[in-house]
Structure 1
Amino acid sequence: MVTTRTNNPAQLNHILILSENPQTLSNFYRDALGMTISKSKDLLLCEAPQRRVLIGQGASHELGYAAFTFRDASGLASFREMLRATKTPARPSPSSIFGSEALAVMDPDNNVLVFGLPPSGDSPISDSPDARLQHFAITTTQLEEMFEFYTHTLGFKSPDTVKDEQGAMRAFFVNSDEEHHSIGIFKASEARIDHHAYDVVDWNAIRDWADHMARLDIQMQWGPGRHGPGNNLFFMVHDSDDNKVEFSTELERLIPPRETIVWPYAPKTLNLWGEAYLRS
Structure 2
Amino acid sequence: MPTLQTSTPARLCYLHLASKEPQRQIDFYQRMLDMDSQVQADGSWILSGPKRAMLVSPADHSGLLACAYDLGDQARLAALRDRLIERDCTIEDYHSPLLEPGAFLIRDPQGRQTIFGVSRPHPGADRQGMPGRLQHVVFQTTELEAMIDFYVNTVGFTVSDNVVDEQTGQLMVCFLRSDDEHHSLAFFRGSKNEWDHHCYETNEWNDIRDWGDRFAKERISIFFGPGRHGPGNNLFFMVVDADRNRLEFSAELEITDVAREPGIWPQGEYTLNSWGRAWIRS
Q: What TM-score results when the alignment is normalised by the length of structure 2?
A: 0.94
**1:279 corresponding residue in structure 2:** 281
Question: Aligned with 1:113: secondary structure?
Answer: strand
Question: Aligned with 2:46: secondary structure?
Answer: strand
Question: Aligned with 2:264: secondary structure?
Answer: strand
Q: Which of 185, 190, 200 in structure 1 is aligned with 2:192?
A: 190
Paired residues for 1:14-93 under 5 Å: 14-40=14-40, 41-58=42-59, 60-93=61-94
Q: In the aligned structure 2, how far is the partner of 1:276 from the partner of 1:193?
A: 18
Q: Given the superposition, is the C-alpha separation of residues 189 and 64 from structure 1 closer, same or farther in structure 2, using an over 3 Å criterion?
A: same
Q: In the aligned structure 2, how far is the partner of 1:240 from the partner of 1:120?
A: 27
Q: Given the superposition, is the C-alpha separation of residues 170 and 190 from structure 1 closer, same or farther in structure 2, using an over 3 Å criterion?
A: same
For structure 2, which runs of at least 5 residues remain unmatched after alignment? none
Q: In the aligned structure 1, how far is the partner of 2:233 from the partner of 2:62?
A: 27
Q: Which stretches of structure 1, 4 residues or longer, exceed 2 Å deviation after superposition?
A: 3-7, 57-62, 120-128
Q: Given the superposition, is the C-alpha separation of residues 95 and 121 from structure 1 closer, same or farther in structure 2, using an over 3 Å criterion?
A: closer
Fraction of identical pairs, as percent: 37
For structure 1, which runs of at least 5 residues remain unmatched after alignment? none
**2:7 corresponding residue in structure 1:** 7
**1:265 corresponding residue in structure 2:** 267
Displacement of 1:217 in angstroms is 1.4
Q: In the aligned structure 2, how far is the partner of 1:79 from the partner of 1:124?
A: 26
Matched-pair contact (CA < 8 Å) for 1:226–1:232: yes
Paired residues for 1:1-280 under 5 Å: 5-40=5-40, 41-58=42-59, 60-121=61-122, 123-164=124-165, 165-280=167-282
Query: In terms of mean alpha carbon deviation, does 114-123 or 217-226 score higher?
Result: 114-123
Deviations 1:218-237 (A, max 9, x none): 11111110001100000111
Number of residue pairs aligned between Structure 1 and Structure 2: 278
Question: Aligned with 1:56: secondary structure?
Answer: strand
Question: Aligned with 1:214: secondary structure?
Answer: helix
Displacement of 1:95 in angstroms is 2.6
Q: In the aligned structure 2, how far is the partner of 1:122 from the partner of 1:22?
A: 19
Q: CA RMSD in A?
A: 1.7
Q: Given the superposition, is the C-alpha separation of residues 119 and 142 from structure 1 closer, same or farther in structure 2, using an over 3 Å criterion?
A: same
Displacement of 1:126 in angstroms is 3.9
Q: In the aligned structure 2, how far is the partner of 1:240 from the partner of 1:144?
A: 32
Displacement of 1:96 in angstroms is 2.8
Aligned residue type for 1:33 = L
Q: In the aligned structure 1, how far is the partner of 2:202 from the partner of 2:5?
A: 24
Displacement of 1:90 in angstroms is 0.3
Aligned residue type for 1:189 = S
Q: Given the superposition, is the C-alpha separation of residues 67 and 192 from structure 1 closer, same or farther in structure 2, using an over 3 Å criterion?
A: same
Aligned residue type for 2:264 = V
